[in-house]
C-alpha cells in the first residue's frame, strides 16, 4: 500500500482497526490475531500504515510469492508457511545470509528444544519455565519433545519497520543467565533494559480501538447477514411473482377449451 505523505499523516491506528473490524472477512481476522499479541504486549507495535498493509495483504510479506489470507497466528506477520519453517533461496527475501554463490533466506522460526538441552534440566529450569510462560515472551509450544518455537532473528518489513515478536531464540538463554529469580518482574526488567521493547503505553491505542469496536463490529456482521437474508428472500418473491405473471399472461393466450389443461 503506497500513500502520499498527506494521507499518511492523517492515518491513525484507530481508523485502520475500526475499518478492518467493520469490514469483516480476512481484515478482521488479521486484527484479531494482532490483538492476541498486542494484549500481551509481546510484539512490535505496528504503525498505522503497516496495519493498513496487513488489512489489505494478499501475499507473504517476506517472499512476495505465496498467497496469504491473514496474519499467521502468533507471529504478527503476514507470512507463508514456507518462510516460517524453511530456509530457502529467494530473490525478494528481506534477510540474507551468504551461502556459496547464492543467498539463503533463513526460516522465521527456530526450535528451542527443551527436551534435548541439558541446561534446561539443570538448576535453571524454573527460570526457563518462567521465560516460556511469560506473556511478553511470545512462543509457540508443541507437545513433541518439549519444543518451543521462537523467531530466529529480529526482522523488518519491506519499509524497514521492525516486526514480529520482541523476544527471539537467542534471547531465551540471555534472559535466563541475566535474571536471578524466576519472578515475572525480573523478566520484565530485562526486556525493558536490554531488548528495546515498546513501553506498555504504546499498545494502548490499538487495544482500546479494538475493544471499543468489538460489539459494534459484531452488530455490523449481524446486520449484514440479516440484510443479505432479506435481499435473498425478496429476490425469491420477485422471481415467484414474475413466474405467476407469466402464467397469467400465458393463460389469456390459450383457447378456452385448453386453458384448464394447460394450467
Query: Between these two residues, 120 and 39, which has the higher pLDDT value?
Result: 39
- Indicate the pLDDT class of residue 262, thresholds 50, 70 and 90: low
Taking residues 163-192, what's their average pLDDT? 90
Q: Which of 68-82, 125-139, 179-193, 224-238 bottoms out in mean pLDDT, i.e. has the lowest? A: 224-238
SS3 assignment for the chain: CCCCHHHHHHCCHHHHHHHHHHHCHHHHHHHHHHHHHHCCCCECCCCHHHHHHHHHCCECCCCCCCECCCCCCCCCCCCCHHHHHCCECCCCCCCCEEECCEEEECCCEEEEECCCCHHHHCCCHHHHHHHHHCCCCCCEECCCCCEEEEECCCEECCCCCEECECCCHHHHHHHHHHCCCCCHHHHHHHHHHHCCCCCHHHHHHHHHHHHHHHHHHHHHHHHHHHHHHHHHHHHHHHHHHHHHHHHHHHHHHCCHHHHHHHC
96-108 pLDDT, tens digit per residue, is: 444 444 445 678 8
Nearest to 139 by CA among 115, 164, 118: 164
Q: Which of 28-42, 112-126, 134-148, 154-168 bottoms out in mean pLDDT, i.e. has the lowest? A: 134-148
Provide the grid cell at 12.
Answer: 491513525
Taking residues 193-198, what's their average pLDDT? 88
Query: Between these two residues, 88 and 11, which has the higher pLDDT value?
Result: 11
Tell me what pLDDT residue 92 has: 45
**Residue 44, helix vs strand vs coil:** coil
Tell me what pLDDT residue 250 has: 72
Taking residues 168-197, what's their average pLDDT? 90
Tell me what pLDDT residue 46 has: 92
Is residue 61 within 8 Å of residue 78, measured between CB atoms?
yes
- Return mean pLDDT, the chain: 80
Taking residues 61-81, what's their average pLDDT? 87
Integer CA distances (angstroms), 262 to 102, 130, 167, 253, in order: 78, 82, 78, 11
Q: 147: which strand partners?
A: 113
Q: What percent of the chain has pLDDT over 90?
A: 14
Tell me what pLDDT residue 98 has: 45
Tell me what pLDDT residue 224 has: 74
Taking residues 192-197, what's their average pLDDT? 88
Integer CA distances (angstroms), 5 to 2, 9, 22, 49, 100, in order: 10, 6, 26, 11, 41
Tell me what pLDDT residue 254 has: 65
Taking residues 76-83, what's their average pLDDT? 88
Residue length of the chain? 263
Residue 49 has pLDDT above 50, yes or no: yes
Residue 226 has pLDDT above 80, yes or no: no
Tell me what pLDDT residue 206 has: 92
Tell me what pLDDT residue 101 has: 42
Amino acid at each position: 500500500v503506497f500513500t502520499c505523505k498527506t494521507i499518511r499523516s492523517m492515518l491513525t491506528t484507530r481508523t485502520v482497526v475500526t475499518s478492518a473490524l467493520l469490514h469483516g472477512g480476512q481484515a478482521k481476522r488479521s486484527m484479531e490475531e494482532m490483538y492476541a499479541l498486542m494484549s500481551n504486549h509481546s510484539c512490535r507495535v505496528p504503525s498505522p500504515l503497516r496495519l493498513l498493509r496487513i488489512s489489505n495483504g494478499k501475499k507473504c510479506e517476506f517472499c512476495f510469492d505465496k498467497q496469504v489470507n491473514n496474519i499467521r497466528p502468533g507471529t504478527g506477520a503476514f507470512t507463508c508457511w514456507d518462510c516460517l519453517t524453511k530456509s530457502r533461496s529467494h530473490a525478494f527475501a528481506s534477510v540474507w545470509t551468504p551461502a556459496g554463490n547464492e543467498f539463503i533466506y533463513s526460516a522465521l522460526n527456530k526450535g528451542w528444544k527443551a527436551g534435548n538441552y541439558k541446561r534446561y534440566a539443570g538448576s535453571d529450569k524454573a527460570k526457563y519455565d518462567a521465560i516460556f510462560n511469560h506473556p511478553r515472551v511470545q512462543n509457540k509450544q508443541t507437545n513433541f519433545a518439549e519444543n518451543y518455537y521462537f523467531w530466529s532473528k529480529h526482522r523488518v518489513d519491506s519499509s524497514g519497520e521492525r516486526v514480529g515478536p520482541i523476544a527471539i531464540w537467542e534471547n531465551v538463554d540471555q534472559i535466563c543467565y541475566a535474571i536471578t529469580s524466576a519472578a515475572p518482574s525480573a523478566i520484565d526488567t530485562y526486556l525493558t533494559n536490554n531488548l528495546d521493547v515498546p513501553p506498555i503505553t504504546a499498545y494502548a491505542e490499538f487495544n482500546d480501538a479494538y475493544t471499543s469496536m468489538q460489539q459494534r463490529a459484531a452488530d455490523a456482521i449481524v446486520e449484514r447477514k440479516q440484510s443479505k437474508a432479506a435481499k435473498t428472500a425478496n429476490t425469491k418473491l420477485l422471481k415467484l411473482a414474475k413466474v405467476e405473471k407469466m402464467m397469467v399472461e400465458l393463460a389469456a393466450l390459450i383457447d378456452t377449451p385448453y386453458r384448464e389443461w394447460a394450467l
